Amino acid sequence: MTDEKKGKIARAKDAVKNLPLADYAETLLDSCVESEVLKQIPVISTGVATIKTYLQFKEGKFKKKVEAFVESAGSFSSEEWEAFSETLEKEGKKKEFINVLLDILEKADSEEKSKILGGIFRRLVKEEIGYPQFDDQVRFTNDMQTINIHIFMHGYHNEHVLENSLGDILVSQRLARRKIEFATKTINIAAQKQEQYIKVSYEITPIGFAYLVSLHQVYKDKIDAGHLYFG
């Protein structure tokens, strides 16, 4: 390591020495892992963004989001963490992952969304979904309003729920596809008169069902048992 690089690291450490950096790292990482897998990932490289993140944590708002995330993610075995670490290494994402995780939690606009993100992270570690799906589901969660996420997970099976504006929202996220077709309806039963109209319907895509699994794992105690979907 060059003297210049050592100097930069020293200055970075000085810049955050009064912030609960070490305490926060332990809170986030120790709550998530019992091994040393993610603790080996450097946090100094987050620079200004890291300082901003820890200031938020110091104020308490970020801490609550972390707690919601950690509770939803649950615990993992050392074997699961080891396999996850190897996957990150193969994909060239291990060094940057803690920064990605911090960024995801910082962007979450509520504890409720942090809870959902924790469930998505759990599926990633357990290899139920891959990194591309993880990225997609994080984006869906951040882009959609919480109320629409809840309507989707409760009413996905009801075509009338989808037709009442939610379908278009899901289409914009690739969670559903729009189907347009000609149909007929009776307008005068006595005269047996019918007319043709354009019928718009929606169907959940495989991407949508994959996201639904994540949501139903997180909220399994809140979903009607007859409509729980685990793939």
Q: What pLDDT was estimated at residue 102?
A: 82
Q: What pLDDT was estimated at residue 77?
A: 84
- Please give the chain's pLDDT, 231 residues, in tens: 556 544 544 544 444 344 443 444 444 544 444 434 344 434 334 444 555 565 555 567 777 888 888 889 888 888 888 888 888 888 888 778 878 888 888 889 899 999 999 999 999 999 999 999 999 999 999 999 999 999 999 999 998 888 888 999 999 999 999 988 776 767 766 667 777 768 788 999 999 999 999 999 999 999 989 999 998
Instruction: Count how many residues are written for the chain.
Output: 231
Q: Which two three-digit tokens encode residue 56?
A: 């938020």
Q: What pLDDT was estimated at residue 2?
A: 56
CB 216 within 8 A of CB 230: yes
Q: Which two three-digit tokens encode residue 153?
A: 């997970």
CB 177 within 8 A of CB 202: yes
Q: Which two three-digit tokens encode residue 46?
A: 């987050």
- Residue 43 carries which side chain, given as an amino acid letter? V
- Residue 59 carries which side chain, given as an amino acid letter? E
CB 115 within 8 A of CB 71: yes
Residue listed under structure tokens 């210049």: 4
Non-local CB neighbours of 46 within 8 Å, separated by 6+ positions:
53, 99, 102
Q: What pLDDT was estimated at residue 50?
A: 56
Helix axes 206-218, 111-125, angle to 10 degrees: 110
CB 79 within 8 A of CB 127: no
